[in-house]
Structure 1
Amino acid sequence: MRKFSLLALSLVFLLSACAPNFQKQNEAVQTKEKAKGKTIIPNYNISDKYYRTILPFKPGEARGLVVNNINTRYDLNEFEMGLMRIAQKSFDTEKYFFQEGQKIEAKTIKQWLNRQYTDEQLKEKNIKPEDNIGLNPVDTSAQGSEPTSPIYLAHILEHDYLTKDDKGNVTLSGVTIGLALNSVYYYKLTPDGDTFEKKIDFAEMEKEGKKLAEEVVKRARNIKTLKDVPITIALFEQESKSSVTPGRFFAYSTVDQGSSKLNDWEKVNEKYYLFPSTDAQNDHRDDTIAFLNFKQDVEQYFPNFNGVIGKAFYVEDQLQELNITIPIQFYGKTEGIGFAQYVAGLVMQHFPKYLSVSVSVTSVDGPEALIVRKANADEPFVHIYQ
C-alpha cells in the first residue's frame, strides 16, 4: 500500500538521506590568520552526496556575481552542485567540511573576468596598468564592428574544504575552482543596439579553458592562504540563455599541495536531457520510450492534457535521475489526491527500480503533490501539499 504524508516538505530530504546521527553539534576552534573564533560543525549530514557546512554560514566572496555572469538559473544551480560533485573525487564527504569560497576576493574575480586591454584602451577606461589582469582576450575591433575575439570565461567559483584536527582546530585543507565557459558569446555593436550571438566551437572552448585554468592556478598560488593547499580545478560549459536544461562540467584537473602544475586532465561524462526531445530520442531511445509511455498514461487520466516534461541526468551515458513536472488544473483537493495516487503507480510501473524518479504536480495555485521514488526503493514517498 502506498504511503501518503502530509508532513512538511523538508521530510522528503530526510527520508532520501542516510540514517541520521542526532548527537549534539560539535563546537570547534577555527584558526584564522589574525584571530581565533568559534565555529560549529553539524554532526548530522542529510546525505553522503553533500558535505557538512561550517557554521555560522559565511557567504562566498563571489556571492552575487554568479547571477550576473551565468546565463540561466539551471546553469547556476548545476555550476554550484556540479562543482561539489567534482570535489568528491578529491575530498571525502566524511572527512572534509564545506565553506563557500573565502580566499579569492570579489574585486579580484571581477578583474580576472575582464578582457585584457591595450594601452590606448587603458587610457580611455582610466584603468591603471597594474589592474590590467583580465583573463579574457583583448578586443581590437572598431566601434560598431563585431568583436575580434569572444569572451570565453564567464565566471569563477571557489569552494573551500576544511578538516578538523584532534584538538578541534579547523583549517583549510583543499579548494575547488570552477571556470564557467561560454558556449555562446553574446555581444552588442552599440550600447543600446540589438544583441547578437556567436556559437563557440567546443574544441576551441576546451582549448581556451585549459589555458585559463593554468593561469588561474598560477595566480591562486600567489594568494598567501592558497599557497600550499591541494586544488581541484574544473571546466563548465554553460548553455545558451534560451536553454531549458543546464550546462555541464566536462573536464577537471588536480594540483598537488605546494605545486602550481596541473596533473593530467580527467574527462567528466555528464549531461542533461529534456524529455521529450529530439536529442533524447537520438541518444537514449529506450529511456525516451519509457518516458513517453508514462506520459501517455498520464494523458489517459486527463485526455486533453499533454504537458508532462522530464529532465534527465546522465553519468557515463547511464540515466541516474529523472525529474518530471506535471502542471495541471484541479477542481478539488480529492481530485489532486486521486491523481497523485495514480501517478505514483505509474512511476513504479514504467521506470526501472535502480532509477531515482521525482514527480512534481503543480497547478495555478502552486504545488499540489510531490512523488519521490528513490533508487531501489520498494514504494514511493508521496507528499500532498495543504
Structure 2
Amino acid sequence: MKKKLLMVLTASFLVLTACAPNFGEQEEIVQETEDESKEQAIIPKYNISDSYYKMILPFKQGEARGLVAEQLNTRLDIDEFETGLMRVAQESFSPDNYLYQEGQYLKGEDISSWLQRKKVGNEKIEAQEAAKNKDKNTTGADEKYVEVGLNPALDEGNGQSLTELHTKNPIYLSHILEHDYLIRKDDTVELGGVVIGLAMNSVHYYQEEHGYPREYKIETKELLAQGKQMAEVILKRVRSTKGLEKVPIVFAIYKQEEKSSIVPGNFVAKANVKEGSNILEKWEDIDEDYYFFPSDEATNDYRDDAQMFNRFKQDVEEFFPNYTGVIGKAFYKNGELNYLDIEIPMQFYGKAEVIAFTQFVTGKVMEYFPDYISLEVNVMSTTGQEAVIIKEPNQEEPTVHIYK
C-alpha cells in the first residue's frame, strides 16, 4: 500500500513541477560478493517507509529469477509470497540495520531439481545410468547418482489407480525462495542473514486415467509436517553452499491458495537457524490470514469487521446510482485487522461526479474505519483508475488523489 502511495505522490509532483523528484544523496560502499570478491555498490539515502528495506544498488537479479511466476498458482500468491517473506524477515533482520538483496546463492537449476518428485522405476534407472556415463571412472551408478527431488515419488507400478497414487503422494512443495539480507560494517556490506521461503500447495492438481482434471485438498497440518521435514533437508544443502556455511537463516512456510481463490495464501510457521548451526530451532506459528469482503467466511470469523464493511458498502450504494459493487481484501495478523484494501468500480459521466463521489467516500472512510488500521480505497471506472484514498494508522487526514 505504501508503494502505491509513493507512486501517487511522485506522479502528482511530476505533474505540478515537470521535473524529477530528488531522492537525496547516495552513499558508495564496497560489497563483498558470494565469490569473495569486492565491488562498488550504492546505498540510496531515500527510503519509502520504515517497513521496507533499502535495496543495494545496482540491483542484482536473483539466481532463481522467474521461477516464482512459473511455480505459484496466481499473481496474488506470487506477490504475497515475496512481500510476506520480507515481513517475516523483519522480525530477525531489522530494516534499520539490514539491506535487502535478491537471492544470490541458490541456483535456479538446483531449486528446480529440488521441486521435482523423487525418482522411481525406469526414471530412476535412467538417471543412474546418466550419472554413471557422466563419469567413466565411476564403478557403480549409485556411487554417483544422488536423489535431490523433495516431493514424494509417484510409483505407477504397484497396481494403484492414478487417483490413489496422487491422493497418497501429492506434490507438496511448489517453490523455494531465497532472500539475502546484508549488514554494514564500516565502509563495506556483507551477508548478514538469509531467509528461505517454502511455498506449499493447499491443493494438488492432477489428471485421472481418462484425462479429466482432478484436485486433492491438502490439510494445513499435513503440508506443515511435510514442509518442516523438507526444511531439514534443505538446511543441509544450504549449509553446503559456498558462502552460506555459517550465516544465520530463517525458514518460513507459506500455504498457497487454490487457483480459483480471490485472496492470496499466508505464512503459517517459521524457524530460526543460528549462526554456524545446523539445527532448526523450535517452529513458531505465524497467525496471518486474508479475507474477502463481503463473504460468509469473513462474517463467520470477524462479524464486527464484516458488519462495518457492509455499512460502508450500503452508504455507497445509496449515494451513487451507477454503483456496481464494493469489494475488499483484509489482512489479519494475530487476529487483528491490520489493513484493508477496498475497490469501488463505478460508471462515471464527468469529472465533477468523480470529485463529488471521492469526497463522499473519504468522509465515510473517516466515519467507519478505526484509526489503527492501514486502509486504501481505489475508485475505478471502465477507463481506469479515477481516484485513490489512503489512510495510515493514527493519521488525522487521509491522502486523497484524483487522477487527471
**TM-score, normalisation: structure 1:** 0.92
**Matches for 1:148-297 after TM superposition, within 5 Å:** 148-166=168-186, 168-189=187-208, 193-297=211-315
Question: Counterpart in 1 of 2:155?
Answer: 140
Offset of residue 258 of structure 1 = 0.9
Deviates further, 20-29 or 248-257: 20-29
May I ask how many residue pairs the two structures share in their alignment?
Answer: 373
Work out the percentage of aligned pairs sharing the same amino acid: 50
Question: Counterpart in 2 of 1:53?
Answer: 55
Instruction: Give the Cα separation in 1 of the matches to 2:265 and 2:185.
Output: 37
Encode CA deviations 1:191-231: one digit per residue, 9 max, x unaligned: x9332110011111111111011111111001021100000
Encode CA deviations 1:262-293: one digit per residue, 9 max, x unaligned: 01111110101000101110110011111000
Instruction: Give the Cα separation in 1 of the matches to 2:240 and 2:218.
Output: 31
SS of 1:224's partner is coil
C-alpha distance 8-244 of structure 1, shift in aligned 2 (>3 A): closer
Contact kept in structure 2, 1:183 and 1:238, CA below 8 Å: yes
1:340 has 2:358 as partner: yes
SS of 2:162's partner is coil
Contact kept in structure 2, 1:182 and 1:238, CA below 8 Å: yes
Instruction: Give the Cα separation in 2 of the matches to 1:225 and 1:87.
Output: 19
* Gap runs ≥5 in structure 1: 1-6, 15-19
Offset of residue 23 of structure 1 = 4.5
C-alpha distance 360-73 of structure 1, shift in aligned 2 (>3 A): same
Instruction: Give the Cα separation in 2 of the matches to 1:13 and 1:284.
Output: 37
Offset of residue 375 of structure 1 = 1.1
Structure having greater relative contact order (Cα 8 Å, sep ≥ 6):
1
**Matches for 1:304-315 after TM superposition, within 5 Å:** 305-315=323-333
Instruction: Give the Cα separation in 2 of the matches to 1:359 and 1:115.
Output: 43
Offset of residue 46 of structure 1 = 1.2
Offset of residue 39 of structure 1 = 0.7
Question: Counterpart in 2 of 1:89?
Answer: 91
Instruction: Give the Cα separation in 1 of the matches to 2:202 and 2:399.
Output: 38
Offset of residue 162 of structure 1 = 0.5
C-alpha distance 357-12 of structure 1, shift in aligned 2 (>3 A): farther
Contact kept in structure 1, 2:323 and 2:345, CA below 8 Å: no
Encode CA deviations 1:29-65: one digit per residue, 9 max, x unaligned: 1123253211111122111111100111111112111
Contact kept in structure 2, 1:175 and 1:232, CA below 8 Å: yes
Deviates further, 130-139 or 207-216: 130-139
Instruction: Give the Cα separation in 2 of the matches to 1:238 and 1:328.
Output: 31
Question: Counterpart in 2 of 1:71?
Answer: 73
SS of 1:53's partner is coil
Question: Counterpart in 1 of 2:389?
Answer: 371
Question: Counterpart in 2 of 1:17?
Answer: none
C-alpha distance 8-254 of structure 1, shift in aligned 2 (>3 A): closer
Offset of residue 141 of structure 1 = 2.5
Question: Counterpart in 2 of 1:4?
Answer: none
1:384 has 2:383 as partner: no
Contact kept in structure 2, 1:21 and 1:43, CA below 8 Å: no
Which letter does structure 1 place at the counterpart of 2:344?
I
Contact kept in structure 1, 2:121 and 2:155, CA below 8 Å: no
Encode CA deviations 1:75-109: one digit per residue, 9 max, x unaligned: 11110011001101110111100000010000100
Contact kept in structure 2, 1:21 and 1:44, CA below 8 Å: no
1:30 has 2:49 as partner: no
Contact kept in structure 2, 1:111 and 1:131, CA below 8 Å: no
Instruction: Give the Cα separation in 1 of the matches to 2:108 and 2:346.
Output: 43
SS of 2:96's partner is coil
- Relative to its length, the structure with more helix (as a share) is 2
* Gap runs ≥5 in structure 2: 1-5, 14-20, 132-143
